[in-house]
Chain A
Amino acid sequence: MAKKTLNIVESAYRAVMEEQDDTILWLLAAMQGAGAEHTVVLRGNAVNYAVASQGVPGLTIGKWKQTQAPKMDRDVLDLIEKRKIPVYVIAEDLADRGIERSELVPGVQLLSRMELPGLFTEFALVTHW
């Protein structure tokens, strides 16, 4: 049985245009497919990943055009629905940024900063990205 791992993701939008996804969410999805058992907590600027209907046009340089620009809300939904990875969002970090619960993709769970340390006890490994 795989070690249960809690992944606190704080780094946000780093290289997502070049990679066409978030490198950490991608890594966790790939590892889950290899038998890992991950849970994700989005905190800090990364809470914005859970906001529905986001996106950006692909990069264009002269005649070169990016056709598969990243969509972070799609990737968060993929974690929840396809990979069965629970995704929590820190409620205070949402509030700090003026983001309402109603703006998030379905399936994300709110967690307070005070509740986060208690969650640690449920996991064999805790990582902070």
Chain B
Amino acid sequence: MSKKTLTIALMDPPYESENLTTAFRILDIAARRGYDINVFAYEGASGLAFVRQMPHPNPVHGKDVAEENHPTTKDQVAALLAAAEQNGGKVDWVNCGMCVDERGVNEFVPGTRRGSPADFHAFAEASDNVLVIPTK
């Protein structure tokens, strides 16, 4: 079977919906299969790879930082990139440049990059399939 290229466009910001959990489950499977993956992180999703995200304790749960082990999407993005590389694939993760500027989240997980809608267009043209998960 020839190698597949999948593009996913995301719009939801981190910590606001279940859409991103669904997206990461799909991305994880694609990475395990060695697919080449393109991600266009648009609008709120441009914060997913913001590198200054920090896990926190949870006093309601009665847990400190280590016990709560709060997930951060920046760690999930980094894990995705590593998983793809380990399985012979690659991830081209593009953070919409204007979106990160307006949010002040222009420090990215290494291996992701700044881009524009032109990247999404190029991704769509070059992919076997495209999945858009929009904000509702």
A residues neighboring B (CB under 8 Å): 13-21, 26, 29-30, 33, 59-64, 66-68
Contact = CB atoms under 8 A, between A and B. Distances in A.
Given A18-B20, A21-B60, A63 B79 contact: yes
Interface residues of B, number: 32
A59 B72 CA distance: 12
Interface stretch (B63-71, B100-108, B109-117, B118-126): B63-71
Interface of B: 14-18, 20-21, 24-25, 27-28, 31-32, 58-61, 63, 67-71, 73, 75-76, 78-80, 82-83, 86
Contacts, number: 72
A80 B2 CA distance: 55
A66 B28 CA distance: 13
Main secondary structure of the interface of B (DSSP, over half): helix
18 contacts: A15-B15, A18-B15, A18-B73, A20-B68, A20-B70, A21-B58, A33-B60, A59-B24, A59-B76, A61-B27, A61-B28, A61-B31, A61-B80, A62-B32, A62-B86, A63-B79, A63-B83, A64-B76
A63 B82 contact: yes
